[in-house]
């Protein structure tokens, strides 16, 4: 088996050069130009160049792996595949908000086994490798402790801009959850939100129609931290086909599922439909 820890070391030494490139255009008087690649999704010139830089780095670390990026090539191998989001949170980036990151995952036979999330604005790395735990910087993350009371939980989510057919369920679910939990956050980067869930800064997360590159790296962190991952109705979550993701500390996952399954009940058939990756 490939030495995943060695790969992580290589990544943490080289990916900051991409972050430095991104920071040169962040919060400047003339922000990076962006355009809509489809409804409500923005791509900037920095996204494209960053993905090119990352692809070169990854090819030098593991040339035999296929490459699945948000902005350019999308191919998946039966063995190894890199999955890359060069800027998760592009709207935040071009708006001058600091909640954005670089997300890189390595899949082995379509299963995430290595994840790296780098936050250029803080220099922080969230990393994880299959059966090797998760780290924030050089510190191994402990399995998070939590009271198990929903009123103590901070939850995170994302707006359903990709999901107009089921968007009403989001607002029903949010209205249902808000008086039950401590607070709900919508920060604009699914990868970073899920990394923060793995670190114990949040206790739960739900969202629809996330893409492979949004979450592949964070899934490794969540798995290593014992976070329970399912669809909105408690069924298994599949990286390539599931339309809904509910992830939470084991003590409140069932409670979160009660809310999501109730809020999205009218759309259950739609949510069971499978979507293609990408």
Closest to 234 (Cα-Cα) out of 260, 269, 252, 208: 260
Q: Residue 229 is encoded by which pair of tokens?
A: 């991952």
- For 35-48, write each residue's pLDDT tens digit: 545 444 555 788 88
Give the Cα separation of 163 and 9 in Å (integer).
37
Query: In sequence order, what are the residues at sequence separation of 6 or more whose Cβ sits closer than 8 angstroms to the Cβ of residue 113?
Result: 4, 106, 107, 129, 130, 220
Q: How many residues does the chain have?
A: 278
pLDDT given for residue 33 in this prediction: 61
All residue ranges of the chain with pLDDT < 70 are 1, 31-43, 273-278
Per-residue pLDDT, 193 = 98
Question: Model confidence over 65-119: pLDDT tens digits?
Answer: 999 998 777 889 899 999 999 999 988 998 899 999 999 999 999 999 999 999 9
Residue pair 77/71 in contact (Cβ under 8 Å)? The answer is no
> Domains of the chain by range and CATH?
4-140 (3.30.540.10), 150-272 (3.40.190.80)
Element (H, E) at 84: strand 80-88
- Give the count of alpha carbons within 13 A of 74, CB side only: 11
Record the pTM.
Answer: 0.92
Tell me how far apart the alpha carbons of residues 157 and 248 are, in angstroms, rounded to a whole number: 12
């Amino acid at each position: 088996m490939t030495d995943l820890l060695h790969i992580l070391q290589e990544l943490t030494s080289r990916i900051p050069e991409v972050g430095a490139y991104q920071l040169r255009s962040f919060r400047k008087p003339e922000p990076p130009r962006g355009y809509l690649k489809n409804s409500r999704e923005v791509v900037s010139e920095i996204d494209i160049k960053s993905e090119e830089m990352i692809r070169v780095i990854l090819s030098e670390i593991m040339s035999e792996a296929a490459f699945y990026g948000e902005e350019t090539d999308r191919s998946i191998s039966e063995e190894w595949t890199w999955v890359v989001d060069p800027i998760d949170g592009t709207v935040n980036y071009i708006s001058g908000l600091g909640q954005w990151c670089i997300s890189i995952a390595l899949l082995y036979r379509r299963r995430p086994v290595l994840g790296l999330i780098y936050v250029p604005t803080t220099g922080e790395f969230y990393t994880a490798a299959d059966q090797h735990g998760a780290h924030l910087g050089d510190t191994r993350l402990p399995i998070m402790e939590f009271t198990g009371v929903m009123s103590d939980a901070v939850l995170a989510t994302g707006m359903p801009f990709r999901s107009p057919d089921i968007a009403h369920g989001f607002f029903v679910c949010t209205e249902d959850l808000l008086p039950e939990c401590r607070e709900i956050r919508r920060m604009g980067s699914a990868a970073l939100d899920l990394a923060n869930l793995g670190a114990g800064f949040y206790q739960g997360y739900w969202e629809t129609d996330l893409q492979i590159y949004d979450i592949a790296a964070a899934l490794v962190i969540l798995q290593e931290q014992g976070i329970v991952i399912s669809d909105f109705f408690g069924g298994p979550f599949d990286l390539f086909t599931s339309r809904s993701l509910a992830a939470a500390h084991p003590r409140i996952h069932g409670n979160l599922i009660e809310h999501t399954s109730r809020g999205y009940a009218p759309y259950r058939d739609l949510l069971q439909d499978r979507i293609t990756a990408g």
